[in-house]
């Protein structure tokens, strides 16, 4: 009986340590959609580092969903950080986007170009990329390098046509919130879109889970439609253990 009790306690301690590590240090998540292409691809497994922004109920492992709470040891993201967060519309869902606006910033979209505090964000053509959909299909799309105020540069996808959310009224980011966008600008439900329309709206800092620093693996999900013996070939080995910018 004592041996059985000790085994149960050992298992409980191990589970507790795993939960504590996932809460306090880092937790892996996989990318199910193309909203952050080309930075993140469908099937990437990313690592969200949790301590940079402090802790709240959002920091708990993904299978634990509690109401919103205040952060302790809290800190704001830097403009340009790729962040994982609980979607305010359903906190059991984990989303990933890039922070482009901080409290006090005035954000506006004009003809598909991002403006921050009355300044048009620098955008340079960078050839053509391949936009992948969830069904595995691909289409060519223009690629650009966007440089945010402060000098953080990243790659985005942008179709030539002007879409529904390429022109938005100026909005001032309130305290305790950030403005997030997907790098795949025509395929991202983000802060340009109100929460009641399926977007993010202005994201409360309390919903932040962590900062995306690296990928730990990647597998092309379209390979699920292929014979199982072809699945290993879908591993994107070049993306394993790479930094996310």
Query: Could you list the active site residues?
Result: 35, 97
Decide: 144 and 128 in contact? Cβ < 8 Å.
no
Give me 218's structure tokens: 């990647």
Q: How far apart are CA 221 and CA 32, in angstroms?
A: 9
Q: Which sign, positive or negative, has the C-alpha torsion 217, 209, 145, 199?
A: positive
Residue 92 CB neighbours (<10 A): 10
Are the beta carbons of 243 and 214 closer than 8 angstroms?
Answer: yes
What are 172's strand-pairing partners? 106
**CA distance linking residue 202 with residue 204, whole number of Å:** 7
- The DSSP result for 204-244, as a single string, is EGGGEEEEEEEEEEEB-GGGGGS-GGGGGGGB-GGGTTEE-
- The single-letter DSSP state of residue 43 is T
Rounded alpha-carbon distances, angstroms, from residue 67 to 49, 72, 205, 225: 21, 15, 14, 38
d(CA 3, CA 78): 51
């Amino acid at each position: 009986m004592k041996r059985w009790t000790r085994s149960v306690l050992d298992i409980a301690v191990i589970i507790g340590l795993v939960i504590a590590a996932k809460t306090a240090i880092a937790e892996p998540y996989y990318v199910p959609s193309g909203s952050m292409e080309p930075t993140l691809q469908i099937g990437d497994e990313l690592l969200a580092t949790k301590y940079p922004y402090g802790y709240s109920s959002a920091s708990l492992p993904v299978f634990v969903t509690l109401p919103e709470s205040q952060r302790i040891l809290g800190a704001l993201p830097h403009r340009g950080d790729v962040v994982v967060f609980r979607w305010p519309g359903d906190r059991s869902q984990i989303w990933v986007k890039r922070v482009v606006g901080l409290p006090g910033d005035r954000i506006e979209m004009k003809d598909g170009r991002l403006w921050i505090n009355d300044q048009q964000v620098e955008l340079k053509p960078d050839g053509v990329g391949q936009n992948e959909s969830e069904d595995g299909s691909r289409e060519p799309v223009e690629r650009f390098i966007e440089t945010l105020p402060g000098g953080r540069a990243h790659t985005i996808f942008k179709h030539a046509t002007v879409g529904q959310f390429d022109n938005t009224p100026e909005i001032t980011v309130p305290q305790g919130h950030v403005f997030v966008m997907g790098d795949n600008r025509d395929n991202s439900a983000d802060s340009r879109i109100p929460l009641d329309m399926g977007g993010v709206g202005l994201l409360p800092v309390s919903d932040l889970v962590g900062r995306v620093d690296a990928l730990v693996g990647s597998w092309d999900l379209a390979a699920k439609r292929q014979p199982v013996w072809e699945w290993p070939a879908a591993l994107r080995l070049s993306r394993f253990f790479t930094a996310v910018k």
